[in-house]
Structure formats: structure tokens, C-alpha cells
């Protein structure tokens, strides 16, 4: 990928004066342009009625809720719901379970997902003939009226309606019967009148327009800037409440790419669009399609890069004053027309089929381990970290290749930071905080940073990968621990209190958070303690396994670069010891009694090493330690005769806690 800006020095020290309680002004509004609904920016294009069979719609909606989707664009094909002029409308699908708009829209509305209704293209009885709109414009009005009356006025499920899709491109404009820009304006005029007649509360979104980056525009194929200008000159602005664009790019959102008459980054493209709004009237901007494909074609990106670009494009769009909502295209990988639903197949080089957050699979099973792409995890983490927050300021906007956006709301403060320069900076943040929880783009915890004098140091080590930094995450209701400022509740509290409490597990270091399961990416609620990491399995409620402990002992050995399997396999042990053939390790006094007292196999796990001498670098103390799957047991002879002779290692703290900054 092309990253146009590089750091000019290897170490960049920046100080953010973000003291606790400080209120910073939001970014300045674009002069004369609206900043209206910034509260629900997270949308996707899933088109459930068209692309998901009726029996799989509940699973699709469950996955949308998991991802934190706030808006979904539901495309309703005119030629699917009405087959003859003046004929009846069929909203509940065909015999194959497809095109059931009643079911798709109702399921999303019941789940609290807001819907943008998209109405398009010309009617079934004129397919392949392409007469001028005058021959079917009255039927178009009837269709819009019927859809808006059904899902707006009567059911209260849709308020915003997008009329047509990409009319500026030849395939969906000229070749679909819109021969001139004036034809599209007529579509808007009649559609608005019909929609408001059906539902006075209806809002009209101009059919989303796509860019042309390389080829020269023609009277059948316009770049959206040219098309918008003509719509404005023809008075089309008065028929819409929202302007929609599809700002696909051939490179990164920060990249500066030539677009025939000028080079544009994503932010510059939006600023150029603002100039059009000023010329013809302020309207909010919705990005009703945006995405990158993971195909193996020259325009495709790898799956991690797709995830990074998703977050960065959303952040840059959300920071632009006139942009209200962003719809990622699309929610699930698609298949070429004619592909059997039960046997989805795509070519690795097929670009149109690989824009999704989910891989195309049958059946659509949320428990499937290979379903979620990295971009799904990135989307889910983004909505979890930033949902309900407001942008407070842009501290860095790409100078020296670093971007830094600050969000807050509801007692939470979250910064998002990423770099596109080749050198990784060290960034000092004067946060005025007690601690900061640093999470990766996919939700994994990177570090818990205890501040030094109210400051922390952040090191964005992975190129292009966003980091989330949450300052002093608020404690949730439950049993509070002033020592760390965190609390425990529910099943985790019950387990902690019944299985050893403070002596066994230590203080909580975090609140309950969601991290992706290794391998599958499925969401798992976890909580870190000084000596353990709890994982919550509500699907096992009623069994002893609803709370399980992570394999922190094995993870600690891996961090040290130590493969326990390389140790000699033991087959014999003294009578006072116990041997474990599963790992070939012996467990001898005093570790054996400590292992049994700490929970044995269930809570400590199998031994991975023999007991071995350890020298503490700071104190010089020599003691013995033995690693297990979920713990480390330590024998401290200098503490003989005290309760601290046998201790459980602070593996949770060692895994995530750092003082002041990342190493």
C-alpha cells in the first residue's frame, strides 16, 4: 500500500494537555454547513431482503447486533415486488425464501437497527427495453408511495428513503432508463412528492453517487462532482434532505491520489464536496457505500489491511463536519449471479464478491469459527469503543504520519491513534489519568498503563493499525475495589468469591471487556485480575464451566520465547511426587500441596515445567517457580513460616500492566 507521508525522525515526543475534566471544543463546523445527527454514524449495507434467505435472516440480524451496527441500507428492488403495471405488490418474498422485505425489515426494526430504505430501478415490464422515464414515471410514483406507506406511515419502520442508486454510472443510470441528468431530477421530484404524500415525516436521500478515478467522464458516465453540479443547476437540490455519495478509493484514505484534474486525499475529497454544498444549499452527507475488497486482484487488499482501512476511513469521515453516517459495503461477501445459495463460491480474483465483513458461507452460523473476517472484529471494536461518544478534537491530522482523534462522553474518554509513516514514534500523553487501557484494532488488550505523574507513553508499533486508549475506564456496578478502581459483578464475582477471592486471584485490573476468541474471533467477555484472566461462557450457564481461566502460564512462557515441549519428558517420579503423563512433568512438595489448594487441574491446569530456581533481578532473592497452564506457583524460602512462603505469580499483571508506557 502507498503511504504518502513518512516520519522525519525516529522518535517523536508529543504532549497532549488533556487533563481530567478539561472540556475541549469540537472541531469547527464547515462554514455554512450543517452538523446535525452525529450520534449514530455506524452503518452497513447488508440488503437482507435481497441477499439473505428468510431462514437465515435471524442469524444475520444477530451478527449485525454483535457488530454494533446502528444503520443498515435495505435495498427494495421494484422489479421484485411488482411484475405488471398497476399490478399488486408482493412484499413477502418468493417460494425460495428470497426478497422477503417484510421479514427483513421487521427483524431489523425489532432489533433496534435503524433502516435506510433504498428504492430502485426501472420496472420489470420495461427491463431490456429502456424506454424514457415519461413512460413509467407515474408507476414510479405509485411504487414509492406504496413502499413508504407500508414501511413508514403504517409500520413506523423506515423514515429515510434513498431514491435510486449510482445514477451517474452508465450501468445503473443510462442503461437503466435515465438518459439525462434531468431524468434523474425528475425521479427525485416525483419520488419526493409520492413519499411525502404517503408519510409526511419521510426524509429523502439523493441516490448515492460513485466516483470515477481514472477513465474520462462521458455523457453516460459521470464523476459524481460533475453530476452533483448538474443536479444542482437543474434545481434538484430542493427535492432531497440528504446528499449520498460512495467514495470508493484506489488507495488508502490518507493517500494523495490523482483524480484527473487534481489529486485528493479522502479528507480533501470531502472538503471539495463541501464547496458543492455551499453552491447549491447545505445538506448533510451520508456515505451510503464505502469499502475495500479482499480479492486477489490488483485493486484488492489483504484482510488485515481491509480492517485497518475500515477504521481509519470511518474516523476521518466522522471527523468531517458535514458527514453524518457511513455505511460499509458490504456486510457479507457476495456471490456472482446464478450461484446456488447453498453452495456459495467465488473466485479469489473476483473483486465485487469480497467486500464483506463476513465470509460467504452456508449455513450462516454465528458460531462458525471461520465466518468473521478481521474487518468484522475491527468494526465491532470500533462501535464498542466509540459508540455513544462525541469527537472532542483532532490532535494530529497526519503531520509526520501520525493521526490522533479524541472522543468523550458518558464519563468515558477514548483516544484513537494510528500512524502511516514508516518510523514508530513515542508519544507522551499528559492525560491527568490514573491509568489507560490500550486496545488493538480488533479489541485485544495490549497494555494497561499506570500513569507516571499523570502521563503515559504510547508507541504505535504496527504500521496503519489503529490503537484505542481509554483513560480511567469507569467502574461498573458491583463489588468495588478502591485499590485498583475496578469492580466485579455477576457470574465473575460469584466465581471470584467462591474460588479463593483476593488471595487466589488478586485485585481486578480491568472491568469486564470483550476480546475476540483466538481463531474464531467470536466475542468473549473477559476480565483481568492480578493472577488470572477470567473468561465468561454464558452459553454454559448451569454448569461448572461458565467461568474459565485463561492459559496465562503458557502465555508467559511464550512471551519469554520458551517452548515447554522442548524440555525432557519425565516418566518416573519419587513417591512423594505426582507425575503427569499428559505433559511429562513432575509435581513435588511443596508445589503439590499448593497446586491442590489452588484448585488443581480445574483452576491451575497441568504442569508445563519442572520446578526451577529463579533469581529476582531487583531484589536479588532466589526462589523456585513452576509453570502450569493457568498459573505459576512460587516457593520463597526467605518467607518460611509466613503465609507468603508459597505464592501464586502475578501473571495477569505481568501480561498487561506497564508503568507509564509501552516497552
504496527: which residue's cell? 462
Q: How far lies 201's CA from each of 119, 145, 295, in Å?
A: 17, 13, 41
Neighbours of 122 (CB within 10 A): 23
Q: Which residues pair with 429 in a beta bridge?
A: 16, 456
Condensed to tens digits (0 to 9), the pLDDT of residues 418-438 reads 999 988 889 999 999 999 999
Instruction: Walk me through the domains of the chain, giving residue ranges and CATH numbers.
Output: 1-29+401-470 (2.60.40.1180), 46-386 (3.20.20.80), 479-550 (no CATH), 568-659 (no CATH)
What's the pLDDT band for 1 if we cut at 50, 70, 90?
very low
Angstrom distance (rounded) from CA 223 to CA 240: 20
Angstrom distance (rounded) from CA 101 to CA 157: 12
How many Å separate Cα 390 from the centre of its chain? 17
Contacts of 154 (CB under 8 A, 6+ apart): none
Neighbours of 654 (CB within 10 A): 16
Condensed to tens digits (0 to 9), the pLDDT of residues 625-653 reads 999 999 999 999 999 999 999 999 999 99
Residue count (the chain): 663
410514483: which residue's cell? 141
Q: Is there a contact between 325 and 40 (Cβ–Cβ < 8 Å)? A: yes
Three cell numbers, residue 363:
449455513
Condensed to tens digits (0 to 9), the pLDDT of residues 581-603 reads 999 999 999 999 999 999 999 99
Contacts of 585 (CB under 8 A, 6+ apart): 567, 570, 579, 606, 607, 608, 609, 610
In the predicted structure, residue 266 carries a pLDDT above the cut 80: yes
DSSP per-residue codes, 419-487 = E-SSSPP-EEEE---SEEEEEETTS-EEEEEEPBTTEEEE---STT--EEEEESPPPPSSEEETTTTEE
Q: Is there a contact between 240 and 205 (Cβ–Cβ < 8 Å)? A: yes
What is the model's pLDDT at position 72?
Answer: 98
Q: Which residues pair with 450 in a beta bridge?
A: 435, 659
Angstrom distance (rounded) from CA 473 to CA 484: 11
What is the model's pLDDT at position 620?
Answer: 87
Q: Is there a contact between 105 and 158 (Cβ–Cβ < 8 Å)? A: yes
The DSSP secondary-structure symbol of 274 reads H
Question: Stretch 301-325: mean pLDDT, rounded?
Answer: 97
Question: Stretch 529-543: mean pLDDT, rounded?
Answer: 96
Mean pLDDT, the chain, rounded, equals 92
Condensed to tens digits (0 to 9), the pLDDT of residues 494-526 reads 999 999 999 999 999 999 999 999 999 999 999
Three cell numbers, residue 455:
502521563
What is the model's pLDDT at position 549?
Answer: 97
In 496-607, the DSSP E strands lie at: 513-516, 523-528, 533-536, 547-549, 578-580, 585-587
* Cis amide bond preceding 590, omega within 30: yes
Condensed to tens digits (0 to 9), the pLDDT of residues 358-405 reads 999 999 999 999 999 999 999 999 999 999 999 999 999 998 899 999
What is the model's pLDDT at position 658?
Answer: 86
Contacts of 131 (CB under 8 A, 6+ apart): 177
Q: How far lies 197's CA from each of 102, 144, 146, 240, 243, in Å?
A: 21, 10, 10, 15, 21
Q: Is there a contact between 43 and 37 (Cβ–Cβ < 8 Å)? A: no
Q: Which residues pair with 129 in a beta bridge?
A: none
In the predicted structure, residue 530 carries a pLDDT above the cut 50: yes
What is the model's pLDDT at position 336?
Answer: 86
Amino acid at each position: 500500500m502507498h503511504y504518502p507521508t513518512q516520519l522525519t525522525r525516529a522518535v517523536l515526543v508529543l504532549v497532549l494537555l488533556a487533563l481530567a475534566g478539561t472540556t475541549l471544543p469540537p472541531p469547527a463546523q464547515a462554514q455554512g454547513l450543517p452538523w446535525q445527527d452525529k450520534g449514530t454514524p455506524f452503518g452497513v449495507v447488508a440488503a437482507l431482503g435481497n441477499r439473505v434467505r428468510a431462514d437465515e435472516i435471524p442469524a444475520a440480524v444477530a451478527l449485525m447486533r454483535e457488530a454494533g451496527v446502528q444503520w443498515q441500507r435495505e435495498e427494495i428492488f421494484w422489479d421484485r415486488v411488482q411484475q405488471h403495471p398497476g399490478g399488486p405488490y408482493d412484499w413477502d418474498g418468493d417460494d425460495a425464501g428470497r426478497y422477503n422485505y417484510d421479514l427483513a425489515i421487521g427483524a431489523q426494526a425489532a432489533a433496534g437497527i435503524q433502516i435506510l430504505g433504498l428504492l430502485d430501478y426501472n420496472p420489470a415490464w420495461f427491463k431490456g427495453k429502456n424506454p424514457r422515464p415519461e413512460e413509467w414515471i407515474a408507476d414510479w410514483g405509485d411504487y414509492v408511495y406504496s413502499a413508504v406507506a407500508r414501511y413508514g406511515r403504517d409500520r413506523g419502520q423506515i423514515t429515510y428513503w434513498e431514491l435510486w442508486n449510482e445514477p451517474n454510472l452508465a450501468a445503473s443510470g443510462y442503461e437503466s432508463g435515465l438518459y439525462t441528468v434531468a431524468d434523474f431530477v425528475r425521479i427525485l421530484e416525483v419520488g419526493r412528492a409520492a413519499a411525502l404524500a404517503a408519510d409526511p415525516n419521510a426524509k429523502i436521500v439523493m441516490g448515492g453517487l460513485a466516483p470515477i478515478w481514472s477513465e474520462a467522464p462521458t455523457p453516460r458516465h459521470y464523476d459524481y462532482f460533475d453530476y452533483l453540479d448538474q443536479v444542482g443547476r437543474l434545481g434538484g437540490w430542493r427535492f432531497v434532505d440528504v446528499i449520498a455519495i460512495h467514495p470508493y478509493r484506489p488507495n488508502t484514505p490518507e493517500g494523495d491520489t490523482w483524480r484527473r484534474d487534481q489529486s485528493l486525499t479522502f479528507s480533501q475529497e470531502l472538503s471539495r464536496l463541501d464547496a458543492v454544498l455551499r453552491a447549491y444549499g447545505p445538506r448533510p452527507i451520508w456515505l451510503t457505500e464505502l469499502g475495500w475488497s479482499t480479492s486477489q486482484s490488483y485493486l484488492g487488499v489483504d484482510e488485515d489491511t481491509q480492517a485497518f482501512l475500515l477504521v481509519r476511513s470511518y474516523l476521518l469521515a466522522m471527523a468531517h463536519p458535514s458527514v453524518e453516517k457511513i455505511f460499509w459495503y458490504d456486510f457479507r461477501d457476495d456471490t456472482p449471479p446464478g450461484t446456488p445459495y447453498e453452495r456459495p463460491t467465488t473466485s479469489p480474483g473476483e473483486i465485487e464478491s469480497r467486500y464483506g465483513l463476513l465470509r460467504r458461507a452456508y449455513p450462516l452460523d454465528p458460531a462458525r469459527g471461520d465466518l468473521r473476517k478481521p474487518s468484522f472484529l475491527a468494526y465491532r471494536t470500533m462501535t464498542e469503543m466509540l459508540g455513544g461518544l462525541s469527537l472532542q478534537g483532532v490532535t494530529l491530522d497526519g503531520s509526520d504520519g501520525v493521526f490522533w482523534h479524541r472522543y468523550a462522553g458518558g464519563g468515558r474518554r477514548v483516544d484513537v491513534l494510528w500512524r502511516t509513516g514508516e518510523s514508530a514514534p513515542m508519544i507522551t500523553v499528559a492525560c491527568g489519568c490514573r491509568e489507560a487501557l490500550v486496545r488493538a484494532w480488533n479489541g485485544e488488550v495490549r497494555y494497561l498503563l499506570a500513569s507516571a505523574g499523570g502521563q503515559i507513553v504510547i508507541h504505535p508499533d504496527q504500521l496503519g493499525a489503529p490503537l484505542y486508549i481509554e483513560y480511567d475506564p469507569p467502574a461498573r456496578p458491583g463489588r468495588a475495589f478502591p485499590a485498583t478502581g475496578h469492580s466485579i459483578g455477576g457470574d465473575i464475582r460469584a466465581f471470584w468469591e467462591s474460588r479463593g477471592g483476593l488471595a487466589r486471584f488478586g485485585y481486578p485490573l480491568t472491568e469486564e471487556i470483550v476480546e475476540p476468541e483466538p481463531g474464531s474471533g467470536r466475542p468473549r467477555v473477559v476480565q483481568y485480575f492480578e493472577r488470572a484472566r477470567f473468561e465468561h461462557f454464558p452459553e454454559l450457564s448451569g454448569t461448572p464451566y461458565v467461568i474459565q481461566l485463561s492459559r496465562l502460564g503458557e502465555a508467559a512462557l511464550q512471551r519469554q520465547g520458551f517452548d515447554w515441549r522442548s524440555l525432557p519428558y519425565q516418566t518416573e517420579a519419587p513417591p512423594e511426587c505426582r507425575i503427569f503423563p499428559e505433559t511429562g512433568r513432575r509435581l513435588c512438595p511443596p508445589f503439590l500441596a499448593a497446586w491442590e489448594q489452588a484448585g488443581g487441574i480445574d483452576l491451575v491446569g497441568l504442569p508445563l515445567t519442572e520446578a526451577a530456581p529463579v533469581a529476582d533481578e531487583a531484589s536479588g532473592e532466589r526462589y523456585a517457580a513452576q509453570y502450569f497452564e493457568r498459573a505459576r506457583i512460587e516457593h520463597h524460602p526467605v518467607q518460611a513460616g509466613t503465609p507468603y512462603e508459597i505464592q501464586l505469580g502475578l501473571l495477569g499483571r505481568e501480561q498487561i500492566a506497564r508503568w507509564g508506557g509501552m516497552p
